[in-house]
Structure 1
């Protein structure tokens, strides 16, 4: 209601009250004029008897009962008609006029609407609903929720931004204001001049293009682990909706785009890219960030299109070039992983050393005392009580000439090496010398026995009883006893695989298991025919009863140089995929085949090849059986490229997380390296 209406209404009420008073007076006069006819006093005039009239009247001071008029003090019954203050009503019929006026005023008063108080104005900014970033125009929408304002305006940082008319919408062009954070509120004024204010909104004006502050992996890195995250850090927050665009960030392996998952940090300034599937390694990687799609929260595009490259190798170097100070050549004897501890035996011209790698640091476990000056093999075993055993071959003369071989075993008790004596002496047997442990928890060794008076070599087993070495089962007749592999099967039985010469240039591979004291053949023999030679057989078994055997096949000219693998199904051997070879150098010859099953029973094969046509250079290869494709998959390219050395045996082991490691000798002079699979 307007103020002027309220004033008018108050005046009407006051006037009505005055008229009611007059009506009351008129009724009193009418009552006196119509007094009872029997009354002794019938006045012919009526005096004004209304008290407190405010007039200063004169009367007899001795007569307190006299009316408030001037009259004769001795005559109380007769008013003084000559008094100038006397009011005389000759015609009482005029009283009806007062009644009519009173009724009209009363009706007007009762008919008027009740007074309604003014409702305060409630106002709100409905758009944007939260903090907004902009580089140009932003729309601001205001809603009057309650009340009737006479004006609505927008304020920026406390100063007038715009005056609004219904429907209260304002498109603010921010190009005229500096890049900064601005606070916007809506104001409303009601009819009484009251001010209402909305809650504020923050508008961040930003016209600066975002930039890439850092990226990982670094550009042109050539040794990157696939587990290393791909991370991009920006100079400011990035708009999440722009990141999910297919072309905003592209990751390629060897030129092929990869499926990926992009994770934006809580502050929207860091992007982490996770590949949905790893590429086949090795792989040349590159990332491209497109400036046309990636923007900041204000819509500013990246300052430029960015790309960088790196490489995922198949194998990561843990260490390389490890040499003992005693001589030029350091040859790997063996490698064994026990939990996180890696044990290495290293053969050099000065003797035999054992190292332990713990927490990426190598420590010496002393030197093993040898009886003879030259060492051919040094096989390691970690017992259940964590004691370390080493079985080795020693020679008395220069390799290549008639010589005797001595098999010795020593044990490291945590302080020093203790020699457990000579297991056996093999005479004139350098070319076929071989010794190996059957398994981690077994104190049984398999070795080659050869006497110059006998045409063949033999594979024999011996177990340490605590005081002496005791022969196990019969010796296995073998044309070349040095070509054998040994392990323990699920029934805790020793298993040996060896090659046999059957004449006319033919060889056969046969596997046997020791039942009590008798060797029992496992299935039929494998025969590759007249052309290929079968060499370096190896076997491994897992507790569930799975056994896998592998060997190398060679032929003159290299036409059939390959690796063959078979799996034992409990009653017969089944080919495990097709044969495979070094396709880059098909004329090279495979050697040193070693099959190992990981902690999940997946077969791996490691071997090495050399080519006489390539200055006797040799390379290592590793393949893994892929059950999905039912084929062997090469794990990267060849490892190493060094001069051929007669004793170069790779060792494949698995840590407690089932990550494969390969240790090998390489180079001239020879040194030892360790790599782990990039996975």
Structure 2
């Protein structure tokens, strides 16, 4: 009984406990997790992970030298922390797990960095971080305009391409500047999204006849901190006042060519046509939009002939007409005229020649004025007589249209030329020098029955002339104005010569000024090409400037026109006006060295 009592007590307690458990609501018993930094119970192995977080370098970093490497380590203290480069350990990191890694030991290029932590037999890895090691300086691989370019438009894009991306933070208006010879130019600076293309946008057109340079400071760097390569040529170019219209024109071996006597007109299609004499032939080209194209084959009248003069004019339909003077051994001098019919040059009648016995022709001129019928004139002489003869195209042949102008055989004649008035009557100008006397200017006008001498009081040596729609005769040349030698333009008012505006005394501080060519624009305003020798030591060449008469003053149409670098202007230029009244100039330039002379015909238009 005592045993039972002893056992019954515990049994009763156990039943009570079971009953209480059945009556309790359902519940979970939770054991809290350990934080990573919380140590486990004593005696248990520490299996917590080690977390490795990059502090530096940043993603896709670039460097040209030392690189700061640092990671944050969270969790158990590792036995060792290592830096792996491209999968291979290169060094260890001690707490606080940072170091300065000298990248000179690895090659240039892209490298993958990983930090590895080891604890007991466990390995923990950071995320990968890509780093570019770049010790090469960036450089310009292309520029617009090109380095040393000499024919740059004032509104040309300014752009450079680099060998690798630049750091945009280093590109600004202080580190990159656009500079002319005399001042800094305002321009916006733009770096492309890929960092490889730099664009400068000037706020105004570039100044002409100056050297322009883009100057880059050594603070301009790539993303690795490498400075721009500084040993390469400076980015410098020239902006002329006039741009070449297409390439210079020549033929054959340039070192064996002699190009002279250029003439220029603008056809009804608004495209300029240029003609010149070279290697015993006359050649003509028309602007085709991108380049000059030949109008037919080179022309000459006979095999073995020598051609000197040529003159280009337009018929009423705007078709080019070309006249030239030809010398042939054993025969008289000949003057040929042909007209372009759209596919070929067709003769306008038979050739003309001197009317004097045993005479020769030292000069020829050709003009169509504002009339439908062109006129050819030439100066002819023999041992006893000298005169100027005029012939007009009748539609089928050349007929006499004015009495010959008698000339003094003992004089030297220069700059002879003529134009036609609205009635088709010629006005002839030239300078005349008698032995032992100063040169004088002569102007002769055909009245329809006789030659009127308008030379008295001219006061200049005429080089060019034009007759306007009102019949007013205007002459340009060289003379004295305001007490100095100057380019002068004078107009005949019916009784006397009146100077038009102020003398063109000084274009660019040169010598021997004059007026070489004249033309009337579509509004009847006079446009002239004035020129002068560059200096007292450069009298063999010329520089020029086109100017327009506004009715009250001379207005420059651009800057100073100069021959190409290293060239000399050779012979008289010619002037024509495009459809927008823009002046176009043609002239022959010569480059001479110790062993060769190179000639070429250049056509220029204002750079604006």
TM-score computed with the length of structure 1 as normaliser: 0.53
- Asked if 1:295 is matched to 2:227, the reply is no
Q: Does 1:593 align with 2:517?
A: yes
Using CA pairs below 8 Å that are at least 6 residues apart, which structure has the higher relative contact order?
Answer: 2
Which stretch shifts more, 253-262 or 117-126?
117-126
Partner of 1:100: 16
- 1:116-135 matches, within 5 Å, as 130-134=59-63, 135=65
**1:378 and 2:304 aligned:** no
Tell me, what secondary structure is at the counterpart of 1:421? coil
Q: Give the counterpart of 1:281 among 198, 204, 208.
A: 208
Find 2:66's aligned residue among 131, 136, 149: 136
Q: Deviations over 1:416-447 (max 9, x none)?
A: 653222699998998996322458xx964255
Partner Cα distance (1:94, 1:536) in 2: 143
| Aligned counterpart, 2:283 | 354
- Separation in 1, partners of 2:195, 2:424: 60
5+ residue gaps, structure 1, are 1-44, 46-86, 398-403, 488-492, 511-526, 542-546, 567-572
The answer (yes or no) to whether the contact 2:259–2:599 under 8 Å persists in 1 is yes
Deviations 1:87-129 (A, max 9, x none): 9679978765234323565688845456899999999768766
* Structure 2 residue 344 is matched with structure 1 residue 435: no
SS in 2 for 1:97: helix
Matches within 5 A, 1:153-232: 156-157=84-85, 172-175=99-102, 178-179=105-106, 181-184=110-113, 200-206=128-134, 208=135, 210=137, 212=139, 221=148, 223=150, 225=152
**Cα distance in 2 between the residues matched to 1:370 and 1:94:** 149
Q: How does 1:240-389 map to 2 (within 5 A)?
A: 240-244=168-172, 246=174, 248-260=175-187, 262=189, 264=191, 268=195, 271=198, 277-291=204-218, 293-302=219-228, 308=234, 310=236, 312=238, 314=240, 318-319=247-248, 330-336=259-265, 344-347=274-277, 350=280, 352-356=281-285, 359=291, 365-369=297-301, 377-380=309-312, 389=321
Name the larger-Rg structure: 1
Q: 2:546 aligns with which of 604, 615, 623?
A: 623
Who is 2:348 aligned against? 420
**Which residue is 1:390 aligned to?**
322
Query: What SS does structure 2 have at the residue aligned with 1:368?
Result: coil
How far apart, in 2, do the equivalents of 1:163 and 1:431 lie?
97
Question: Contact 1:649–1:665 at 8 Å: present in 2 too?
Answer: no
1:562 to 463, 483, 487: 487
Does structure 1 conserve the Cα–Cα contact (< 8 Å) formed by 2:262 and 2:277? yes
Report deviation, 1:131: 0.9
Q: Is the 8 A contact 1:334 1:345 kept in 2?
A: yes
Aligned residue for 2:282, secondary structure, equals strand
Write the distance in 2 (CA, Å) between the matches of 1:631 and 1:197: 76
TM-score by length of 2: 0.58
Offset at residue 211 of structure 1 (A)? 5.3
| CA distance 1:638–1:585, change in 2 (3 Å) | farther
Looking at structure 1, the residues matched to 391 and 399 of structure 2 have their Cα atoms a distance apart, in angstroms, of 11
Local SS of the residue matching 1:210: coil
Distance across 2 between alignment mates of 1:230 and 1:277? 13
Say how many residue pairs are matched. Answer: 524
The alignment partner of 1:298 has SS state of: coil
Matches within 5 A, 1:587-666: 588-595=512-519, 605-609=528-532, 617=540, 619-623=542-546, 631-637=556-562, 641=568, 648-652=572-576, 660=584, 662-664=586-588
- Select the residue among 491, 509, 517 that pairs with 1:584: 509
1:552-589 alpha-carbon deviations (Å, 9 max, x no partner): 452389825225599xxxxxx99889845445344x25
Per-residue deviation at 1:498? Answer: 5.9
Structure 2 CA distance for partners of 1:310 and 1:96, relative to 1, 3 Å: closer
Contact map agreement 1:332 1:665 (CA 8 A) in 2:
no
Taking the aligned partners of 2:93 and 2:69, their CA distance within structure 1 comes to 14
* Partner Cα separation in structure 1 for residue 34 and residue 521 of structure 2: 88
Structure 1 residues 393 and 665: CA distance shift in structure 2, 3 A = farther
The alignment partner of 2:509 has SS state of: coil
- Of 551, 567, 584, 2:476 maps to 551
**CA offset at residue 390 of structure 1?**
1.8
CA RMSD after TM alignment: 6.9
Q: State the Cα distance separating 1:297 from its structure 2 match.
A: 0.8
CA contact (8 A) 2:442 2:462 kept: yes
Supply the distance in 2 between the matched residues of 1:108 and 1:495 (Cα, whole angstroms). Answer: 132
Rate the CA distance shift 1:494–1:625 in 2: closer, same or farther, 3 A: same
Quick one: distance in 1 between partners of 2:226 and 2:30? Answer: 60
1:62 aligns with none
- Residue 16 of structure 1 is matched in structure 2 by none
Counterpart secondary structure, 2:234: strand
Distance, in Å, in 2 between the alignment partners of 1:470 and 1:171 is 104
CA distance in 1, matches of 2:171, 2:30: 63
CA distance in 2, matches of 1:308, 1:149: 58
